Structure 1
Amino acid sequence: MERKVARDITEGSIWKNLLLYFFPIWFGSIFQQMYTTVDAVIVGRFVGKEALAALGGTSGLLVDLSVGFFIGASTGAGVIISHCYGAKDEKRLTYGVRTSMKLALIAGAILMFVGFFGSPIALKWMNAPEDILSAATLYLKVYFLGVIPSLLYNMGSGILRAVGDAKRPLYYLIFTTFVNIGLDILFVAVFHMGILGAALATILSQLVSAILVLKTLLTTKESYRLVLKKCEAYPEVLRQIVNVGLPAGFQNMFYTVSNIVIQAQVNLFGTDVVAAWTAISKIEGVFWLTMGAFGTAIMTFTGQNYGAGKTERVKKGVWVGVGMGIGLTAVICLPILMFAKPLMSVFSTDATVLELGLQYIYFLLPTYITYTGTELFGGVIKGKGNSFAPMVITFVSVFGIRNLWAIFAPSIWPGMNTVMLSYPISWSISSIMFAVYYGISEWKSRKK
């Protein structure tokens, strides 16, 4: 008999449930980050700083823009599935799982076509330096040819996390990360395939992870089993998935488009700055994946308890989340600041790149505490099934204010510090807006 691995987080200690659910997601995110980080380290060491700049920066942002939109949209499936699981509505849960995976397959096919043919145009629009344009184009074309398994894995793992099973996605990522490391060494260091080898290692590893997740969903005896044959249709479930998912997808896209605007500004400073910016984006990635895991934990906790009708437990979870968010930010950022130089040295031995990278880390990392409220209150709001408000807040604070600053402020105060300042400004405004909206919505709920 199959051992039950899903976790019901509608009962028991709130902080223990959040931590027990958070850590597998966090470790999984760490290993997922290692996919691209290992590529960057091996390419930077064995090929050079031009290849490192081609692999990260501009190319990475284009991947984030396309795949990130879908991952955000899959939030809709995760929220609705967590509601069904919390309410113990097995029929709608089964239909939700089947519909979500079908949407992932269709979206993957569309993204493969658009990404393959659209990448060269996007790279030129983003002012990618000429000396990295050819390598970046090759990397993106190969990556998008293998994007369907990536989307299937992300949707499948999102389903498992929505029912409280964060462990098996972690195990699969650990395994496929080592597969990726082995293939990176083989293709880049041994066969000297350069940027092509790094891209092939990534998509083959993602194929393995997709196979593992699909096998889990197809063979489980639990209520979230993936049923390929036609099952009873619930149009309102599909509508809810789309209604929650599309705004969440646009929210992710706003973040990435904003980063693309900033990357276009960074590209104007030359290859050394692009390489340094790429390296610190990998170093600081541990913070973003930590906050992402934190937001997923809060969202799933809210979703299950909201589906079970336990709104008071959700309110208590918010205050627990405040303490967790502040603590996690300190635990991640302080070690990076302390060991910034050896961390930068992992990615490049070029003296100019090292000096620039350290300057950027010391300037930007102390401001990351301003982002914590965005993830906390945004996760709670989306967990209740409202992703429209987070989309609007993100549009105003990130897509609007950050982009305007990044485009116009450097003409008044030239330099990279001015460009980077756009981040803490937008994070502060975003956190305040999310907190105010959450407070107003709670007041209206109590009044009603």
Structure 2
Amino acid sequence: MVTDMTKGNPSKTILKFTFPMLIGNLFQQLYNIVDSVVVGRFIGKDALAAVGSSFMLMNFFSFVIIGLCMGASVVYSYYFGEKNYSNLRRTIFFSFLSIGVFTVLLSIVLVLNTERMLLLINTPKSIFKDSQIYLQVIFAGLIFVYLYNVCSALLRSIGDSKTPLYFLILAATINIVLDLVFVIVYKMGVFGVALATIIAQAVSSILCLIYAFVKIPFIRLTREDMIFDREIAFTVGKFSFLTSIQQSIMTFGMVCVQGIVNTFGPDTIAAFTAAGKIDSIAYLPVQDFGNAFSTYVAQNKGAKKKDRILEGVKSASRTIIIFCIILSVLIFINSNNLMRIFVNADEINVIKLGVEYLSIISIFYILIGFLFMFYGFFRGIGELNVSLILTIISLGTRVLMAYILSSIPQIAQRGIWWSIPIGWGLADTIGFIIYKKVKKNILMNVEADNQENNAFNLEN
């Protein structure tokens, strides 16, 4: 269902739009978790470490593609808010074609160079072969990652966050069933886990594509829309490139951190994998809230409702504070029980390391909550360079501090855990300073618009 986010109560509008995105991403995380649980319990600790070690590389290249789609979605939202459907369709044509071609070429390069990448991140010999098998299957199916994300980004940009949810639920269900069948029944190991993921993504992406162009008339392409528009190509290229760089920097930072984690052996890798899954689910709501906020800001920018953008910032801040406090308490108290979902109770050291990670990170969820809000705000108003700068600060600080702190014997792995909130905090500080300057400019523009409207009314 299409939603115009330039009207109605900002808090209710953003939350209503966020909820289906959250449920959808929870299902997406669900089949990632099922992969880890099935691997950890039915294949073994080394296989879990192999999938975990591969996960960061998989995420890095997936988020390159997802970033391209997210960048294009900001342009979709702007034209939708402006009600310029002709430019919207031309943007759809260019972005679908260009990102699709890029994905195919990237997929081929990655499949051929998987072994070299695993060597670069210090993958232990004991898990090297399984990691290579898993990644090559995943990389071969990147076209489905592109197809789903480009379609879901389009639907969300015009206010439909429910439809992508339905296809994600379907994908999660297929993935869970195939995981169990391939691993437990047919003993296919990590190859079966990867294959189940690709099949699930293929089904959901193809159905999402069919739905979008059958059910929504004003995005259906005609021959007149299938042309190269230099201005649109430049705008899409700018937004997609910068957002992709931002997303890839985020995941590249985690790849670098994974490389440090790998030097501590399989127990630490397994703990980092399991705790990282829990962590990513915990702050998923504020991540989705930030993405929804980006759509809200972009639509209102297109509709030239600048005062409504600032009103949305206030409501978003209140929501983030409340939600992150609740999350921090829940994860901190239940960290031990959560770790036992992923690993057997006799893996005492793995559980201990994972609990240590969660006990440190969970205290600082409010920092990542505001960082996602800043990402959404600056992306929505078109200041993608600011989002990029904040990402570089956050991840650069994290990687640097992880290297420094973990090299101190008395700190060891704990240095990796502590580097994460340090990076969040520094990026938040810079983001707040820049936001105050942008807010001042927006207020001046709003005041100027009001004076102009008052003068016009007096004349009439």
TM-score band by shorter chain is over 0.9
Per the TM alignment, residue 417 of structure 1 is displaced from its structure 2 partner at its CA by 1.0
Per the TM alignment, residue 283 of structure 1 is displaced from its structure 2 partner at its CA by 1.0
SS at structure 1 position matched to 2:219: coil
Report the TM-score when normalising by structure 2: 0.93
Report the TM-score when normalising by structure 1: 0.95
Structure 1 residues 331 and 224: CA distance shift in structure 2, 3 A: farther
Query: Is 1:49 aligned to residue 45 of structure 2?
Result: yes
Fraction of identical pairs, as percent: 32
Match of 2:3 among 7, 12, 36: 7
Match of 2:95 among 76, 94, 100: 100
Give the aligned residue type for 1:40: S
Per the TM alignment, residue 263 of structure 1 is displaced from its structure 2 partner at its CA by 1.2
Query: Is 1:27 aligned to residue 23 of structure 2?
Result: yes
Structure 1 residues 228 and 426: CA distance shift in structure 2, 3 A: farther
Aligned residue for 1:368?
A: 365
Instruction: Tell me the alpha carbon deviations over residues 269-309 of structure 1, each in whole angstroms, 9 at most, x when there is no partner.
Output: 11011101100111112134222211111000001111000
SS at structure 1 position matched to 2:122: coil
Instruction: Tell me the alpha carbon deviations over residues 180-238 of structure 1, each in whole angstroms, 9 at most, x when there is no partner.
Output: 00100110111110100000000000000111111012212432235588535432122
Counterpart Cα distance in 1 of 2:5 and 2:85: 17
Counterpart Cα distance in 1 of 2:51 and 2:382: 36
Give the aligned residue type for 2:383: N
- Once the two structures are superposed, the pairs formed by residues 263-282 of structure 1 within 5 Å of their partners are 263-282=258-277
Counterpart Cα distance in 2 of 1:438 and 1:169: 31
Aligned residue for 2:457?
A: none
Counterpart Cα distance in 1 of 2:89 and 2:405: 51
Aligned residue for 1:40?
A: 36
Match of 1:379 among 373, 376, 379: 376
Bigger CA drift: 401-410 or 319-328? Answer: 401-410
Stretches of structure 1 lacking an aligned partner (at least 5 in a row): none
Counterpart Cα distance in 2 of 1:446 and 1:16: 23
Instruction: Tell me the alpha carbon deviations over residues 19-70 of structure 1, each in whole angstroms, 9 at most, x when there is no partner.
Output: 11010000011011112111111111100010011111x2111011111122
Give the aligned residue type for 2:31: Y
Q: Is the 8 Å Cα contact of residues 283 and 365 (structure 2) preserved in structure 1?
A: no
Per the TM alignment, residue 173 of structure 1 is displaced from its structure 2 partner at its CA by 0.5
Structure 1 residues 233 and 104: CA distance shift in structure 2, 3 A: closer
Q: How many residue pairs end up in the alignment? A: 442
Stretches of structure 2 lacking an aligned partner (at least 5 in a row): 446-460
SS at structure 2 position matched to 1:339: helix
Counterpart Cα distance in 2 of 1:164 and 1:442: 25
Query: Is 1:306 aligned to residue 301 of structure 2?
Result: yes
Q: Is the 8 Å Cα contact of residues 283 and 369 (structure 2) preserved in structure 1?
A: no
Query: Is 1:427 aligned to residue 393 of structure 2?
Result: no
Give the aligned residue type for 1:421: W
Instruction: Tell me the alpha carbon deviations over residues 359-391 of structure 1, each in whole angstroms, 9 at most, x when there is no partner.
Output: 221122112222222111221111012211211
Aligned residue for 2:455?
A: none
Q: Is the 8 Å Cα contact of residues 287 and 329 (structure 1) preserved in structure 2?
A: no
Aligned residue for 2:240?
A: 245
Query: Is 1:416 aligned to residue 417 of structure 2?
Result: no
Match of 1:223 among 202, 218, 221: 218
SS at structure 1 position matched to 2:232: helix
Give the aligned residue type for 1:53: A
Per the TM alignment, residue 423 of structure 1 is displaced from its structure 2 partner at its CA by 0.8
Match of 2:388 among 388, 391, 402: 391
Q: Is the 8 Å Cα contact of residues 302 and 383 (structure 1) preserved in structure 2?
A: yes
Counterpart Cα distance in 1 of 2:223 and 2:24: 27
Bigger CA drift: 195-204 or 409-418? Answer: 409-418
Counterpart Cα distance in 1 of 2:273 and 2:39: 12
Q: Is the 8 Å Cα contact of residues 267 and 274 (structure 1) preserved in structure 2?
A: yes
Aligned residue for 1:439?
A: 436
Structure 1 residues 447 and 10: CA distance shift in structure 2, 3 A: closer
Query: Is 1:116 aligned to residue 107 of structure 2?
Result: no
Counterpart Cα distance in 2 of 1:202 and 1:263: 22
- Once the two structures are superposed, the pairs formed by residues 39-438 of structure 1 within 5 Å of their partners are 39-56=35-52, 58-226=53-221, 231-349=226-344, 350-399=347-396, 401-412=397-408, 414-438=411-435
Instruction: Tell me the alpha carbon deviations over residues 333-368 of structure 1, each in whole angstroms, 9 at most, x when there is no partner.
Output: 322222222221111112221122112211221122
Q: Is the 8 Å Cα contact of residues 244 and 388 (structure 1) preserved in structure 2?
A: no
SS at structure 2 position matched to 1:223: helix
Q: Is the 8 Å Cα contact of residues 67 and 245 (structure 2) preserved in structure 1?
A: yes
Counterpart Cα distance in 2 of 1:231 and 1:134: 45
Counterpart Cα distance in 1 of 2:193 and 2:199: 10
Counterpart Cα distance in 1 of 2:216 and 2:359: 51
Q: Which has the larger radius of gyration?
A: 2
Q: Is the 8 Å Cα contact of residues 138 and 196 (structure 1) preserved in structure 2?
A: yes
Per the TM alignment, residue 332 of structure 1 is displaced from its structure 2 partner at its CA by 2.9
Aligned residue for 2:449?
A: none
Counterpart Cα distance in 2 of 1:311 and 1:76: 21
Instruction: Tell me the alpha carbon deviations over residues 90-125 of structure 1, each in whole angstroms, 9 at most, x when there is no partner.
Output: 100111112221123112202211221222111111
Counterpart Cα distance in 2 of 1:419 and 1:158: 33
Q: Is the 8 Å Cα contact of residues 4 and 159 (structure 2) preserved in structure 1?
A: yes
Aligned residue for 2:448?
A: none
Q: Is the 8 Å Cα contact of residues 179 and 205 (structure 1) preserved in structure 2?
A: yes
Counterpart Cα distance in 2 of 1:358 and 1:136: 25
Give the aligned residue type for 1:27: I
Give the aligned residue type for 1:39: D
Counterpart Cα distance in 2 of 1:226 and 1:108: 22
SS at structure 1 position matched to 2:264: coil
